[in-house]
Structure formats: C-alpha cells, structure tokens
Amino acid sequence: MIYGYIRVSSDKQTVENQRFEINKFCSRENIQIDGWIEETISGTKSYTKRQLGNLLKKIKKDDLIICAELSRLGRNLFMIMEILNICMLKEAKVWTIKDNYRLGDDIQSKVLAFAFGLSAEIERNLISQRTKEALTRKKAEGVSLGRPKGKTNGFGKYKLSSKAKKIHKLMNEGVSKRQIASICKVDRSTLDRFLKLPEYLAASQQNNP
C-alpha cells in the first residue's frame, strides 16, 4: 500500500499544495497513491493522538508513506525519529519530496533506524530524569506537590470560602451545580461539600435578609 500523508497546522492553511506536490511526484515516479491521510493539527501534538498514529499501527512490510517533508510528520526532532524508527522496524518505507529522504530496507536505513530508536530512548530517559530531579528539588524546598486540597476545618479556610457569595448568587439565578463547579474550577463533589458548610450557609443568610 502507498499512503499520501498531509498535515497542516490550522484551518487557514490548505492541504491542496501538499496534495499537488505528492501527486506530481507520484506521476514522475509512475506510482499511485492507494490512500490519503489528511489532518489539521499541530505537529507538536503526539503522533499517537493524530491520524498518523492509526496509520503507523496498520502499516506493513513494503508499505510506503509519502509526504511533502519530514516536518509534516512532527515539529520535534525526537518525535520524527521515533516515527521513522517505527516505520523501519515494520520494514515500511518513508519518502519525502522536499527533503528527498528515501528510508527503506537498505543498510543505510537500518543504521538510521537504530540511531533513531536509540536517540528517542535517550531523550525519553533524559526527560524522565529531569522531571524526577525537578520534583525532588521542589519537595526539598517545601513546595506542596500535586493538586491543592480544600480544607474544611474552620471558617474561611476552605478553597471556596472567598467565592461563597458568588456561588449563592449563581444558585439563586438557577445556574446548575455542574456549571458553577466549572466556573469556580473545582469538582462537582467539592462544590457539594462546600454547600453544606457553615460559611456557605452564613453567606446565603447575609444575602437573604
């Protein structure tokens, strides 16, 4: 199977230029596209969350992916390396028009596949290491990690205390609890607990003389 892959970053861009380039190339090489994959999404988005991810799952030996340039696969070098490594391991080919890359089953491609896979693995390990070091440093500095927890022990100590009057007003206006929770950027369960606390009851009494 021969696939034409087209990606643009926004609705303002058009896929037609890339399609034209790929069709012109195929005409010159006397080959025909069996299936097109077109998507409008940022190249920084993980390929697993794009249509490209689905394509990489189903490609087989000797399948060919043609795109205008390597940057269409992704905007991150290591992401591109990982994508190309997947293709090489599956013995699929990747050709690009502007870059003139021809990654296939020759010895050069196999060397590149090893380099791509090793580089991607090193980058993942470095990211993991940097994350762990940052968390350890923050913990040592006394920074509270994770999502802040709402307190319920005492007046004015709950995370929604400062929004009691606003919540009461929204409740009177008939706004749903789900919407109020979204407005206050808390879970619905957090809001439900707050509505039972003395500070909310006090605020509601102040607004209802």
What percentage of the chain carries pLDDT values higher than 90?
27
Q: How far apart are CA 200 and CA 160, in angstroms?
A: 9
For position 155, what pLDDT does the model report?
42
Q: How far apart are CA 29 and CA 185, in angstroms?
A: 56
Q: How far apart are CA 139 and CA 128, in angstroms?
A: 17
Q: How far apart are CA 98 and CA 51, in angstroms?
A: 22
Is the pTM higher than 0.95? no
pLDDT in tens, 60-97: 999 999 999 888 998 877 788 888 888 888 889 999 99
pLDDT in tens, 168-207: 888 888 888 888 888 888 888 888 888 888 767 766 665 5
User: Rg for the chain (alpha carbons), in Å?
Assistant: 27
| H or E, element range at 178 | helix 177-184
pLDDT in tens, 28-69: 999 999 999 999 988 888 899 999 999 999 999 999 999 998
Mean pLDDT of 98-111: 75
Q: How far apart are CA 125 and CA 111, in angstroms?
A: 21
For position 204, what pLDDT does the model report?
61
For position 148, what pLDDT does the model report?
53
Mean pLDDT of 153-169: 70
